Structure 1
Amino acid sequence: MAHTLTSEQLARGWIQAWIDWDMAWLNTYLAPDFLHISPFGRLAGREHYLNTVAPLAAKSVQKLTIVSVIAGPDESAIWFENHTPAGVIPSCDWLTIKNGTISQIHSFYDSAHVRDTLTSEEQSQLNTTSPPKSS
């Protein structure tokens, strides 16, 4: 990692990476054991999270707009608007920072517009604690 970012920079970078579709940033600043908790459930592991969410985000996210950030040394909250095909979702992500990376995010939003955009099967993918085991 080139340099350590503050929790505010990581929060802004988190949303900006999705705006720019910057998978390199996400792979650098999400911890390998990253945990994401949302109204849909839990996704554990950076690689599993990105492999699951990226194709669904490509379908359901048209635009993200950062509204505000509140930050402390090891945590931050970012308020943003998620523009979907079904409407705008006011959203808040609470980030936990460890060792210069985002270790955990709790996402808070009304999931109705996402549910209107994704199929039931796609929605169920957002609640897999870990990647499927290979046989």
Structure 2
Amino acid sequence: WEMAPSNPAAFEKAGIPFCLTTADLPSTKMFWTHLQKAMLYGLSAEEALKALTATPAATLGIDNLVGSLQEGKLANFLITSGPIFDSKTEILDNYIQGHQYEINPDASTAGSYRVTILTAKGDENYTLEV
């Protein structure tokens, strides 16, 4: 159990696909703390995001619908005040199947956003107008 926080980084280093889940946690509120601890033990932000999105979608056989932002897929994404894994970042909006669900109605999310999508071919940069 003491080595559990280092497991995701070890899997990443070995190239072993893995998913992150709230299963078996006494409280889902503990998930964020455990994720941040795994990142302190060497899990990269890129691999953490993949383990929460693309890998579970592929594991469930639904990566043709979800798991990444691509044309023809359901648009499920967040708009945040900064990098998603930064402890000071706030979630402003949550889009599910392209529909906006305001998390923080007092914060204006209208504007132009730089979006970088990590792909097998490398980073793809886009501008998102909200």
Regarding TM over 0.5, the answer is no
Quick check: which one's helix share is greater? 1
- Normalising by the residue count of structure 1, what TM-score does the alignment of the two structures yield? 0.29
- Normalising by the residue count of structure 2, what TM-score does the alignment of the two structures yield? 0.30
- For the pair shown, which has the larger CA radius of gyration, 1 or 2? 2
Quick check: which one's strand share is greater? 1
